[in-house]
Amino acid sequence: MTASPVASLPLTAIAKATRQAARQLAVLPTEARNQAVEAIAQALEAATPEILAANAADCQAAQAEGIAKPLYNRLKLDETKLKAAIEGVRDVGKLADPVGTVQIQRELDEGLILKRITCPVGVLGIIFEARPDALIQITSLAIKSGNGVILKGGKEAIRSCETLVKAIHQGLSTTAVDAAAVQLLTTREEIRALLQLDEYVDLIIPRGSNEFVRYVQENTRIPVLGHADGICHLYIDRAAELQKAVEITVDAKTQYPAVCNAIETLLVHSAIAPTFLPLAAAALQKRNVELRGDEVTCQILEMAAATEEDWSTEYNDLVLSIKVVDSLEEAIAHINTYGSRHTDAIVTEDPNIADTFLNQVDSANVFHNCSTRFADGFRYGFGAEVGISTQKMPPRGPVGLEGLITYKYKVTGNGHIVAPYAGKDAKPFTHRDF
């Protein structure tokens, strides 16, 4: 069955169909899911001319409407970018199967066996902005992990998304995976409706601005895997090696300032501030970084004054706020107050101070003597990244396929009932792992 790429059914019917297809997909063996991922790669290759034409039409329309340059760059899908995305699909195919892992295997009593086994979450709702390559990546991750997916792309990418999903459906039609497992929504009004479908959708993954992610979190009972904001800090301890500290500072701020794991605030111990700050400032200004300092910083170096607002601002740009602190405790307290629990790092040669920092800073990623920019699923070796979560509960930090997986408890007995294990003279359990 090849579903229509443009959803023409009411949303509930679409969601039901996805749920149904996802139930079949969930129990397919590894090989069948890998074949489906490969079929998607081949179908995208075969449809390359159509995809590029559709994207060119999207780009033309977007330009006519005066789209902003960064959004245009994300929308644009040239042959190189498409090839890389298709390569990414094949990489997903090569990842270890996250489904069917036995996490617990335990005899509760003779003949009564408990197993905890990983399984797909069910149906994912993905809401993303312009980027058509995000559609390709998330669809391959969904199929790999045995999940159905309802996709909602930005309206500026509508022709690209429709053409991509048409190709994906064609690819899946030759496999054991029902094409209805992948659905595309095309109207903005459907977002609100999608967020209400907690009966059919098990996890929402919003990809977009911080405001959008927050909107989603506040308007649904479905669990949300949030790619939240990153107010990351780098703390230069009094026991820091200065050259190392300067290099890490420059990398963490300038290597890619628009992303969530770049730093926004530099904290410097007062004992080394007079020597470190001029070195750091010179290196940062060479990279055109605008500096904003607290009072003490401004006494050491002339720069714009940071206001209270700066400490909780994610610039996503070549701007850095700087604060001088008198102790490790003050640095940790500042981070735990103003940070977003994403990634925070310390530079120090004192291992005890490093330990205290890593233990007490309340963030998903805590780093010692390296750049915050390493906080990333690919760099961590997860193969693919679903997103970075700044929630406290797992999955936390960079989330790979693990975020699309849950588990169930299977218990097999031979007529076992609870009565003999309850009350006085209750039969004990053996609880023997094997």
Tokens 């792992």 belong to 433
Tokens at 32, concatenated: 């069948």
Tokens at 104, concatenated: 């617990």
Among 15, 67, 89, 121, binds a copy of itself (CB under 8 A): 121
Nearer to a copy of itself, 64 or 243 (CB): 243
The residue count for the chain? 434
Residue 215 touches a copy of itself, criterion: CB under 8 A? no
Query: For residues 353-372, which are near a copy of itself according to CB under 8 A?
Result: 354, 358-360, 362-371
CB of 338 to a copy of itself, least distance (A): 12
DSSP codes, 262-319 = SEEEEEEETTTHHHHHHHHHHHHHHTT-EEEE-HHHHHHS--EEPPGGGGG----SSE
Residue 49 touches a copy of itself, criterion: CB under 8 A? no
Nearer to a copy of itself, 160 or 389 (CB): 389
C-alpha distances in Å from residue 227, one per residue of 52, 70, 200, 238, 342: 29, 19, 22, 33, 10
CB of 387 to a copy of itself, least distance (A): 14
Among 223, 272, 283, 312, binds a copy of itself (CB under 8 A): 223
Q: Which residues lie closer than 8 Å to 375 by C-beta, 6 or more apart?
A: 232, 261, 342, 343, 364, 365, 367, 388, 397, 398
Build a one-symbol-per-residue string for 237-266: x at contacts with a copy of itself by CB under 8 A, - elsewhere: ----x--x--xx-xxx--xx----------
Coil/strand/helix, residue 235: strand
C-alpha distances in Å from residue 364, one per residue of 22, 65, 376, 378: 31, 40, 11, 16
Q: Which helix (H) or strand (E) holds 137?
A: helix 132-144
Tokens at 90, concatenated: 């094949």
Residue 96 touches a copy of itself, criterion: CB under 8 A? no
At position 304, the amino acid (one-letter code) is A
Residue 374 touches a copy of itself, criterion: CB under 8 A? yes
Build a one-symbol-per-residue string for 192-211: x at contacts with a copy of itself by CB under 8 A, - elsewhere: ----------xx--------
Q: At what angle do helices 132-144 and 79-94 cross, to 10 degrees?
A: 10
Query: For residues 16-35, which are near a copy of itself according to CB under 8 A?
Result: 23, 26-27
Among 49, 211, 308, 392, binds a copy of itself (CB under 8 A): 392
Binders of a copy of itself: how many residues, by CB under 8 A?
Answer: 70
CB of 149 to a copy of itself, least distance (A): 15
Build a one-symbol-per-residue string for 130-149: x at contacts with a copy of itself by CB under 8 A, - elsewhere: --------------------
CB of 363 to a copy of itself, least distance (A): 7
C-alpha distances in Å from residue 282, one per residue of 30, 216, 290, 297, 357: 54, 42, 11, 14, 27
The residue among 362, 399, 366, 393 whose CA lies nearest residue 380 is 399
Please, are residues 125 and 152 in contact by the beta-carbon 8 Å criterion? yes
Nearer to a copy of itself, 30 or 173 (CB): 30
At position 409, the amino acid (one-letter code) is Y
Residue 424 touches a copy of itself, criterion: CB under 8 A? no
Residue 397 touches a copy of itself, criterion: CB under 8 A? yes
Residue 308 touches a copy of itself, criterion: CB under 8 A? no
In the complex, the residues that contact a copy of itself under the rule CB under 8 A are 23, 26-27, 106, 108, 112, 114, 121-122, 202-203, 217-218, 221, 223, 241, 244, 247-248, 250-252, 255-256, 336, 354, 358-360, 362-371, 373-375, 379-381, 391-394, 396-398, 406-419, 421-422, 429, 431
